Structures are given as structure tokens and as C-alpha cells.
Structure 1
């Protein structure tokens, strides 16, 4: 049976999937019920906080369904999480293609613990850019806005490391000037950009 990841962070980005995990398959936008995204994950070897999920009966999680084998490389990439099987009935097509989703095993990565960002482990803008360029690829500005509004804890420490010689996020997808401007406009329109601090 084929395996599919429900990607809700950096796996939203085609560049990130291909470059850092060798995943060449095409992702499809989906909504997964029962989960809420927030800035709540960190790795012991990285001074940053990333997106995680917690069980929630609230709004559905905007994500991408990624066909991929569960490889050792993917498990290392997602080492701060537990691979958790999801009932495919709780995952639904989103975007223009409303055809049935493929049959297989669906997986989501769930935090080992819920840890809010702090000054020693801020949210990196390079990670936010990676997530939001992925949203722009799969569903345009509307999907990027959905990501922002449905994600918790933007008011935690958050650093603009875009132009840093040593960005906090080592697996970033490059965002050009136009993409950066679009992302910042969306963050401002959604009322969260005020929390970001200079790098």
C-alpha cells in the first residue's frame, strides 16, 4: 500500500521536498480535520522553533498530501516528531481539484512535546518563507492567508533572518524579492507581522 504524508510546514514547499528529502512527487492541497498548527516544535540541535500540530476540534488544517516512501532521510528530517497514521476519511481535497484522494496509508508528524518559541529558540522567518512559498505554489495568496490565520502563537519570539549570513533555518527554500513582498503583505494583512523582530 502506498504512503502519503500530510505536510503542513516545510513539506508544503516543492523546493524543500526535492532539495532536502529527494521527494520528486507532486503534492496536492488538502484539508485535514482534527489538528491545529502552532509554533511549538524544536530540535535539540537547532536554535529555532518550527510548526507542529495538536489535536483540535477547531478549523481544519490546511496541508499538502505528499506521495512518498517513509525513508530514513524523511524520518531524520522530521526527527522532532512522531509519525502518526491518520484515517483517510478525515482528509479532504482542497483547491480546484475535487476528485477523490488516492487510497493508501496517510501519515502526519505530531510533536513529541508542545514547546512555545522563546528568545533562545525563535521562529525563523526563513522557515515561515519556506512554508508560505509552498502555500503560494499550491493555492495562491488565499491559501497562504489560510496558513497564517489558522496557525497559533505568532506572538512568540520571531526573527527576520532572511539576510543573515547564518540563517536559523538550515533547510530553507529561497524566496525572491517579489515572494518576500507578497509574504510580508499577507502577514501584515493578517495582523501578525507586528510581532516579527529584525534579525
Structure 2
């Protein structure tokens, strides 16, 4: 097997929801020394997830084979992020040792979400649906607890989803998301044009 065939990346947001992509060979995994955080950059009008170093934290996610073994193409798709080598940080069940990377926004290139750059509820829904399906309720609860930045405003765009890979949630999935947003005292704001 060539080095390229060993190329995998660790996803900790929408990649966990297998309905949002067709990446081959996706498997549950855990990244040690990382935490998710809500951030925004000038490259996007809304906030999104990034991974930040945190030696005390472990996050669940999915690893997937780099499409076509083409890091350059994946780097272009993930243009708001930098690719960070993470071979020693990720635990997985593969029977070989792949080259692994995590995509993260460079520390000097992101800011805190605000009302002009809110978190999209449709994005939260997609991510939590993925965690519920891949890791169960306990794993979805861990998603909320290992993600920083819940003081960010969350824009309720469920009626007209802005997130391009939005998914239809079941009533139970929607209730789960809403209950955890209430638990974390997340401020929900009305939809505005982005």
C-alpha cells in the first residue's frame, strides 16, 4: 500500500454525519489533545467549528480516506483551515497506521462569533444528528461538552436553512438538540440575511 493510500483526515463536525458526504472508508475515531470551538473568519459570513489544542480534552469524530489520495484537492475544499499533522493524536480501529491530519483554523486567523457572524442552527443540527447516529446520545452529549464557544449567538435558520448540507431531523433529534442548547443557555437569535 502506498503512502497516499494511508492518507486519512479526522473530521469533528459535519463529517461525522455520513449523510452529508460520500468520503470512502469512514470510521469512528477519537482525537486526544483537541477540543472543538466555534469561530469565524473573514472567509465565511457565519461561524463554524474548528479544532483547537487542549491537552485535557478528547473529542470523538470520524476519520475518512482522503479522496483520490489528493491532499491538494482536499486542502482547496478546506481552504478556511490549515492541515495539521495528527498521526499520534488519533485513536482508531484501522489495521494499518495511516498518515492523519486535522483541519483547524490557524490561531491568528479566527475570531469569536457574534451577531454578524452567528452559528447556524442548521449546522448544529447536522453535526448533532451525526453524533447521535454514530456515537449515540452519550456521544452527542460529549459533543456539546467538548465544544467551546457556546456563548456565541445561534441563528435559528431551521425554517430556511442556510447551511448547504442541512438535513431533516426527526422530532426526537430536534428535541435533543434543543434540550442541550437550553442546558448550555445558548442564545438563539432570529434569522437574518447572511
Question: Could you say whether these structures have the same fold, taking a TM-score greater than 0.5 normalized by the shorter chain as the test?
Answer: yes
2:150 to 149, 154, 172: 154
For 1:168 and 1:78, the matched residues in 2 are separated by: 18
Query: Structure 1 residues 159 and 148 mapped into 2: Cα distance closer, same or farther (>3 Å)?
Result: same
TM-superposed deviation, 1:194: 3.7
2:53 alignment partner in structure 1: 55
For 2:77 and 2:16, the matched residues in 1 are separated by: 14
Say whether 1:196 aligns with 2:194.
Answer: no
Report the 3-state secondary structure (helix = DSSP H, G, I; strand = E; otherwise coil) of the residue aligned with 1:65.
Answer: strand
Runs of 4+ with >6 A deviation: none
Say whether 1:125 aligns with 2:88.
Answer: no
Query: Structure 1 residues 91 and 175 mapped into 2: Cα distance closer, same or farther (>3 Å)?
Result: same
TM-superposed deviation, 1:111: 0.3
Give the TM-score taking structure 1 as reference length.
0.82
Report the 3-state secondary structure (helix = DSSP H, G, I; strand = E; otherwise coil) of the residue aligned with 2:55.
Answer: coil
TM-superposed deviation, 1:15: 1.3
How many residues of Structure 1 are paired with residues of Structure 2 in the alignment? 183
2:110 alignment partner in structure 1: 114
TM-superposed deviation, 1:58: 1.7
1:35 alignment partner in structure 2: 34
For 1:73 and 1:195, the matched residues in 2 are separated by: 37
Say whether 1:83 aligns with 2:87.
Answer: no
Give the TM-score taking structure 2 as reference length.
0.84
Report the 3-state secondary structure (helix = DSSP H, G, I; strand = E; otherwise coil) of the residue aligned with 2:174.
Answer: helix
TM-superposed deviation, 1:198: 3.6
TM-superposed deviation, 1:90: 2.1
For 1:14 and 1:180, the matched residues in 2 are separated by: 18
2:18 to 2, 14, 17: 14
CA RMSD of aligned residues (A): 2.1
The one-character-per-residue Cα deviations of 1:123-174 (angstroms, maximum 9, x if unpaired) are 001111111111112111111100001100111121111112xx33223233
Report the 3-state secondary structure (helix = DSSP H, G, I; strand = E; otherwise coil) of the residue aligned with 2:21.
Answer: helix
- The answer to which of 110-119 and 135-144 deviates more is 110-119
- Whether the 8 Å CA contact 1:43–1:80 is kept in 2: the answer is no
Gaps of 5+ in 1: 94-98
For 2:134 and 2:66, the matched residues in 1 are separated by: 17
